[in-house]
Amino acid sequence: MIDPKDLANIMMSCAAFTLMSLGLVSVHIDQSMESWSRRFFGTMFLILLLCACMDLISEPLTVSLFTVSPKLPLYGQSLLSAALIPLLTLYLLHCAGQDFHRSGVFWIVFWVFVFYAALLTVTQFTTFIYYYTPDNTYHRGPWYPLLLVPPALSMLALFVAVLRRRSTLTRKQFLAFLLYIILPTFGMLIQMFFYGIYAVGFGTTLAAMSMYLFIMLDQVEKHTHRYEEILRQRASITVLQMRPHFIYNTLLSIYYLCEQDVKKAQQVILDFSSYLRQNFTAISKADMIPISEELEHTRAYLAVEQVRFSDMLFVEFDTPFTRFRVPPLTLQPIVENAVKHGVDPELGPLKITVQTRETPTGSEIIVTDNGPGYSPADDNEPHIALGNIRERLELMCGGTLDIQSGTAGGTVVTIMIPDRRPE
């Protein structure tokens, strides 16, 4: 009859073998993980896979079936498991941005491992710590607790090192290292009090997989933050982009107005100055701004353009609802896009309507024009500009931008801002 403890050990070893095999495959497939982390987890999973194989070989059932000696596999398993602590310490120092050559904790852990390896080697020729009887039965010797001291000291040193470097680790990295310390330690306590249950190896396997998952999640978060930062930087660049010919034409209009209508020229300078101020201020604003500021910026821009195009451009604002916020330069580029592609002497006057309204789910801005319309198939500048606005809306407030052709021609752009607390 199979001993329940032996069966439990075999099941844990098989589970460890399966998990570590899956871990190795995952590390090999996941090319997005940082190279240092991939090497660390690849090495750790390989070591634990070998440990699971040796654990299976040293099981009494395996020994009796194949007439093998469990002594050497147990030695290899114990030595490889202990080697994980210096490896883990190296990874901790890497995550904390420190050089292991100058780290005291690494050398403490390293020399404790060397002592443990020597003690384990001596054990193979004595009966003081553990031994096997001629029938391959495992027995603990009177000095068995001595064998647990070096791993315990290493884990304690690692635990202190993790706590001291908490401020330099991310939250998920900190939890990952803590789990790797807690689970094997818990397994060690089980193994001490329940003779014959090899819980340390299985606890280490669970710890390794838990650590891998936490580090993966941490790196996903880092990639997400990096992508968001790229979007923010691109948004800042997009925000500051002003068409050179618009500036040139505005200055030229002011030049001629200075002779024809001084007061009108002064007003255009004020409107143009307001437009420029909003553009230059936008780069310093990483957060949402009141819609009233965006409306002011849009009015300043349109006032300048109305001087240039005279009776070719008409604007209507229907904006009674202004108790919400938007990303900087959301509305003005949409209106500018409508002017740029809608003012055409052959098509007649361009009429632009800007509306705001409150909805059950948030706030809406609707920009309508009677221009030539919008073709989604075109891959040109206006599509890129509107795409940048859509990205900033999604990133900064979870908003949306919808572009449709009007029922009577032209284009309808609808911006949806989800509910936020009013100013």
Residue 85 sits in the same domain as residue 197: yes
- Does residue 34 have a pLDDT over 70? yes
Which CATH number belongs to the domain containing residue 365 in this structure? 3.30.565.10
pTM: 0.55
* DSSP conformation letters of 7-36: HHHHHHHHHHHHHHHHHHHHHHH-TTS-HH
423 occurs within a structural domain: no
- Last residue in a domain, options 201, 233, 265: 233
Over range 48-69, report the average pLDDT. Answer: 66
Residue 226 sits in the same domain as residue 313: no
What sign results for the dihedral spanned by CA atoms 219, 221, 222, 228?
A: positive
Which CATH number belongs to the domain containing residue 38 in this structure? 1.20.1070.10
DSSP class of 49: H
What are the structure tokens assigned to 110, written together?
Answer: 């390293």
What are the structure tokens assigned to 244, written together?
Answer: 């050179």
In 3D space, the residue among 361, 375, 364 whose CA is nearest the CA of residue 404 turns out to be: 375
316 occurs within a structural domain: yes
For the chain, what percent of residues have pLDDT higher than 70? 81
Overall domain count for the chain: 2
- Does residue 1 have a pLDDT over 50? no
CA angle, residues 183, 188, 193, in degrees to nearest 5: 130
Of the two residues 293 and 282, the one the predictor is more confident about is 293
With a CB cutoff of 8 Å and minimum separation 6, the contacts of 71 are 58, 124, 132
Confidence of residue 69 (pLDDT cuts 50, 70, 90): low
61 occurs within a structural domain: yes
The predicted-structure confidence for 284-343, as pLDDT tens digits, reads as follows 666 788 999 889 889 888 888 888 887 888 999 999 999 999 988 889 889 988 888 888
378 occurs within a structural domain: yes
Residue 270 sits in the same domain as residue 208: no
| CA distance linking residue 280 with residue 332, whole number of Å | 14
What are the structure tokens assigned to 55, written together?
Answer: 């654990």
What is the span of the domain harbouring residue 386?
Answer: 241-418
Residue 245 sits in the same domain as residue 219: no
- Does residue 271 have a pLDDT over 80? yes
Residue 299 sits in the same domain as residue 381: yes
- Does residue 418 have a pLDDT over 80? yes
SS (H, E, C) 239-307: HHCCCHHHHHHHHHHHHHHHHHCHHHHHHHHHHHHHHHHHHHHHCCCCCCEEHHHHHHHHHHHHHHHHH
| CA distance linking residue 44 with residue 24, whole number of Å | 9
Confidence of residue 415 (pLDDT cuts 50, 70, 90): very high
36 occurs within a structural domain: yes
How many Cβ atoms are within 10 Å of 169's Cβ, its own excluded? 18
Contact 58, 15 (CB under 8 A): no
In 3D space, the residue among 162, 134, 152 whose CA is nearest the CA of residue 191 turns out to be: 152
The reported pLDDT for the residue numbered 259 is 80
- Does residue 281 have a pLDDT over 90? no
The reported pLDDT for the residue numbered 257 is 83
- Last residue in a domain, options 183, 209, 233: 233
The predicted-structure confidence for 367-409, as pLDDT tens digits, reads as follows 999 888 766 544 444 455 677 788 888 878 889 999 988 777 7
The predicted-structure confidence for 203-226, as pLDDT tens digits, reads as follows 788 888 888 888 888 888 887 777
Confidence of residue 106 (pLDDT cuts 50, 70, 90): very high
Residue 186 sits in the same domain as residue 74: yes
Residue 289 sits in the same domain as residue 308: yes
Contact 367, 374 (CB under 8 A): no
The predicted-structure confidence for 154-207, as pLDDT tens digits, reads as follows 889 999 999 999 888 888 889 889 888 888 777 667 666 665 556 666 778 888
Residue 229 sits in the same domain as residue 272: no
In 3D space, the residue among 115, 180, 105 whose CA is nearest the CA of residue 148 turns out to be: 115
Contact 74, 58 (CB under 8 A): yes
- Last residue in a domain, options 181, 215, 233: 233
| CA distance linking residue 28 with residue 23, whole number of Å | 9
* Interaxial angle between packed helices 244-260 and 262-282, expressed in degrees from 0 to 180 and rounded to the nearest 10: 160
SS3 label, residue 87 = helix
Residue 271 sits in the same domain as residue 175: no
What sign results for the dihedral spanned by CA atoms 165, 171, 172, 175?
A: positive
Residue 227 sits in the same domain as residue 256: no
- Does residue 19 have a pLDDT over 80? yes
Residue 20 sits in the same domain as residue 106: yes
| Residue type for position 253 | S
What are the structure tokens assigned to 26, written together?
Answer: 């995952």
Confidence of residue 92 (pLDDT cuts 50, 70, 90): very high
The predicted-structure confidence for 214-270, as pLDDT tens digits, reads as follows 888 888 888 777 777 766 665 555 555 556 667 777 888 888 788 888 888 888 888
Residue 250 sits in the same domain as residue 381: yes
165 occurs within a structural domain: yes
- Does residue 60 have a pLDDT over 60? no
